[in-house]
Copies of this chain bind each other. A is one copy, B any other.
Amino acid sequence: MIREKLKEYYNVVFEEALIDEITKVGTFKKVRENELLLDLGDKFDKIPLILSGAIKISHENTKGDEIALYFLERGDTCTITFGCGLHSSKSKVRGVAEIDSEIIFIPIEKLEEWLVKYKSWRTFVIDSYNIRLSEMLEAIDTLAFMKMDQRLYKYLTDKVKIMRNTTLNTTHRDIAHDLNTSRVVISRLLKQFENDNKIKLFRNKIEILDY
C-alpha cells in the first residue's frame, strides 16, 4: 500500500531502489483535520513525507505568542525535523493538520545513510531545505514589508490555493491567531474587503470573490 502511494506521488522524485527502501522502513499514517503532529519542544525521530493534505507549520515564542509560517503539502517534508533527529534537539515549530492528510514516516537514521547511497535522496534533502528557506524568506518579506491589510489578503488567497476552495471555513478569531493580531483588527479589515466586493462574510465562513 505504501508502495502504491509512493509510486503515485514520489515516482519522479525518488529512484526505484529508494522507493523499495522507503516501503520497507516507512510507516503510513492518516491524520485528521486539526490533529497535532508535532509540538514545540518535541523530539522528533521520524522524517515525514506528505502524500496528501496540508500541514500548517507555526511558530511560538517564549511568551506564548504564535504565528503561522507556511504549509506543507504533497511532496513536502519537514526539514526542521532533520535537525531534531541528528542532535536530538527540540522542535521550535508546531505542525497541525489543516485538513485530513496522509503521511509516510521514515526513521531519522536513514537521513544520513541514504545521503550516501541515493542521488535522488541527496537532491530531495537539499531541495527541501532550499524550499523551506524560501518559504521562510517569504514569511519575513510579508512581516517586514506588508501592512496588516495586505498580510490578511495574502493569508486568505494563500489559503484558497492550499485548500483548493474559494470558501474558507474559519473564524475571525482563528485568523487573528495565525497573524498574531487581535480579532477586532481582523473583523475591521474583513468588513472593508467585503465593502470592496473582494469577499463575502458569513458566520464561520468566508467566500473569496477576487483572488
Contact = CB atoms under 8 A, between A and B. Distances in A.
Interface of A: 59, 61, 63, 65, 67, 69, 79-80, 82-83, 86, 92-93, 111-112, 115-116, 119, 122-123, 126-127, 129-130, 132-134, 136-137, 139-141, 143-145, 180
Given A61-B145, A144-B180, A145-B61, A83 B139 contact: no
Given A65-B145, A143-B144, A137 B59 contact: yes
Nearest to A93: B137
A111 B119 CA distance: 12
A132 B126 CA distance: 13
A133 B59 contact: no
B130 A180 contact: no
B141 A61 contact: yes
19 contacts: A59-B140, A59-B141, A59-B144, A65-B145, A67-B144, A83-B126, A83-B127, A83-B129, A86-B127, A86-B130, A112-B119, A112-B122, A116-B116, A116-B122, A129-B129, A136-B136, A139-B140, A143-B143, A145-B180
Contact of A79 (B63, B65, B129): B129
Contacts of A79: 129, 133
Query: This chain: how many copies in the complex?
Result: 2
Nearest to A68: B144
A61 B139 CA distance: 12
